A and B are shown apart, each in its own frame.
Chain A
């Protein structure tokens, strides 16, 4: 049943991803009334699907790549809805919603069969570790999109061609605020997530845990993340250079993500 809800969610996200294009790019407010309810309903069914899956498996956290992707997709969908509610803009959906569709379409139609074979899989601390890190990844991705939108709007304003009153791009200051707030939200999430993970791993695996490639990369990711916020806050980095910096940190995050293949601790194994 949970798979059915996830498939319904994928269809609804797909509708939202298509409807957001005319709503944002062609200033068609009617399409906004399609995109937002579809995304909201998609997020609801997505949440139901994840809850049902975890409840049926008697565990509280995702144990394979597909489930993790799906959870990250839900967080991104939720951040799209939050932005639409707070800043009255659906522009972020142009980038966020297709990514959400991609993140949910694979688990919806080809569910994973991997698992982590550790006894602590049911602990609340580990759930917190995973949830906080996923929130940090979602925040970073959001910040990257906001920086990209900033760049596009800045270019348009510098080219001095037209100023459509209902431009699909939010004002520069708004996108800048979103980018920075997302990062400031992501940093404590990432810090707490990594700390919790380290304490749990230290108790269950021991000091060998710190030699794990994923753990080392995670430390590098945290440093990069913190440096990026420091540079943005202190030099007021915006525009092109902010996009470069966010992209670099995003690449580090992708490296951390893919380091599961090299990690003894995080590798998902088939049962």
Chain B
């Protein structure tokens, strides 16, 4: 910790999904287009030597290195004032939601955030990319250097270690992602697959969006109210996504076009086993995946017994999501242990840094004195130049003398480092 104290102190201020409601978070959020400017402005605050801003939908965090040697070191209040100046948001409004971490706790928090242990959905992979993006922006504007740069690189390797040594991100925990995961088990890549939404609902819309994100390219919508179906189709249409509307009365004649059917009408028995058999026949037995998120169910559960039909209702999906959540919680405990060890290792390294720097400095100054003396002697003997053998002998003599003179001091400094390593192990 001594290096942090010597060359600056680490301060992290922020709000996240656990401390601030969404209306506060969305007012604090800094879009990526403004992130470079905001980071530059933060880095130019009085007393701030290095800075980085992490802004996602679930958190806004200001990570700074404070220059302790300056009389006007920025206080947490000062950083809040930056938010006020930059976002026109009164500090008093933000203050109750803000958390503050210093030194070791700031390092720990950063490692936890990068490893997705502090995320709303623990183990989600996006956060690491977002931290990297913030770091890149901060580097581009020259806001990170000797302290934050190595710290963030360490945070990335800790996150990587957590990903590889635990199964924290190995299973889907939301209903939509479970459905997408199942679709991949059936179809492999979803590229070129057709999704049919039957009925209009938030959940079906969300599931369809998730499947599109995973590569599905055609979206069909069928709803009793055709205008509503058209509205949904329009909202999901992009240059890469083809959308279409199937009139509700033609649903059974045209549903064979879909590989994945998401139903949410709640009208009950929209698909009976006979209709599913006919659908399979038209598809020449190519598999079809029914995601039934309606209550009461739209798809008869017996359809799951038909070869080539896979029916998952809300309970099935929730059960799988809960199982995966339990796995993640177990893995999160293992991940926390990794983070704790990595924090200890990093702070120990920091505490040894002054001794390493002192050794380097001592060796450099001794070498400078030696070179000076050699030059002076060479000038004195300019009229009677030394033979190469004599020069080599003097070179060896001075090196040996310098090494012997420094020996005790270097040994003391090295033992300080070794004792640090022992404590660490």
Contacts and interface: CB of A to CB of B under 8 A. Distances in A.
A170 B189 CA distance: 11
A185 to B, nearest CB: 20
A18 B59 CA distance: 48
Given A235-B284, A235-B285, A163 B307 contact: no
A119 interface: no
Interface string A184-228: 000000000000000000000000000000000000000000000
A162 B320 contact: yes
A111 interface: no
Interface stretch (A42-50, A94-102, A171-179): A171-179
B323 A162 contact: yes
A271 B13 CA distance: 89
A158 B310 contact: yes
Interface in B375-393: none
Contact of A172 (B172, B187, B284, B320): B187
B181 A163 contact: yes
B83 interface: no
Contacts of A238: 285, 287, 307-308
Nearest to A157: B310
A33 interface: no
Given A165-B181, A241-B307, A236 B284 contact: yes
A155 to B, nearest CB: 11
Nearest to A87: B188
B304 interface: yes
Interface in A221-255: 234-241
Interface centre among B171, B284, B307, B319, by most chain A C-beta atoms within 10 angstroms, is: B307
Given A158-B310, A160-B312, A173 B187 contact: yes
A167 interface: yes
Contacts of B178: 163
Contact of B188 (A162, A173, A235, A241): A173
A171 B320 contact: no
A170 B310 CA distance: 17
A165 B327 CA distance: 12
B383 to A, nearest CB: 70
Nearest to B280: A236
Interface residues of A, number: 24
B185 A163 contact: yes
Contacts, number: 63
A166 interface: yes
Contacts of A162: 320, 323
Interface in B178-194: 178, 181-182, 184-188
Contacts of B312: 160
Nearest to B305: A158
Given A153-B185, A157-B185, A239 B308 contact: yes
A235 B307 CA distance: 13
A241 B304 CA distance: 17
Contact of B304 (A158, A234, A235): A158
Nearest to B181: A163
Contacts of B187: 171-173
B307 A240 contact: yes
Nearest to A165: B170
Interface string A141-157: 00000000000011001
Contacts of A164: 170-171
B320 A166 contact: no
A170 B188 contact: yes
B316 interface: yes
Nearest to B317: A160
Contact of B186 (A157, A165, A234, A237): A157
A2 B275 CA distance: 62
Contacts of B320: 160, 162-163
Interface centre among A236, A237, A241, by most chain B C-beta atoms within 10 angstroms, is: A236
Interface in B18-70: none
A95 B186 CA distance: 21
B286 interface: yes
Interface string B310-336: 101000100110011000000000000
B283 interface: yes
A236 B256 CA distance: 14
Contacts of A165: 170-172, 181
Interface centre among A234, A235, A238, by most chain B C-beta atoms within 10 angstroms, is: A238
Contacts of B285: 235-238
A171 B307 contact: no
B316 A160 contact: yes
Given A163-B320, A166-B170, A239-B308, A174 B181 contact: no
A163 to B, nearest CB: 5
Contacts of B307: 154, 238-241
Interface string B276-298: 00000001111100000000000
Contacts of B305: 158
Contacts of B286: 236
Contact of A171 (B186, B283, B304): B186
29 contacts: A154-B307, A157-B185, A157-B186, A158-B310, A160-B316, A160-B319, A160-B320, A163-B172, A163-B181, A163-B182, A163-B324, A164-B170, A164-B171, A165-B181, A167-B185, A171-B184, A171-B188, A172-B187, A172-B188, A172-B287, A173-B186, A234-B284, A236-B283, A236-B284, A236-B286, A237-B285, A238-B285, A239-B308, A241-B307
Interface of A: 153-154, 157-158, 160, 162-167, 170-174, 234-241
Given A165-B172, A171-B186, 5 more contacts: A157-B182, A158-B310, A160-B316, A171-B188, A173-B287
7 residue pairs, one from A and one from B, having the closest CB atoms: A236-B285, A236-B284, A171-B188, A239-B307, A165-B170, A174-B188, A173-B188
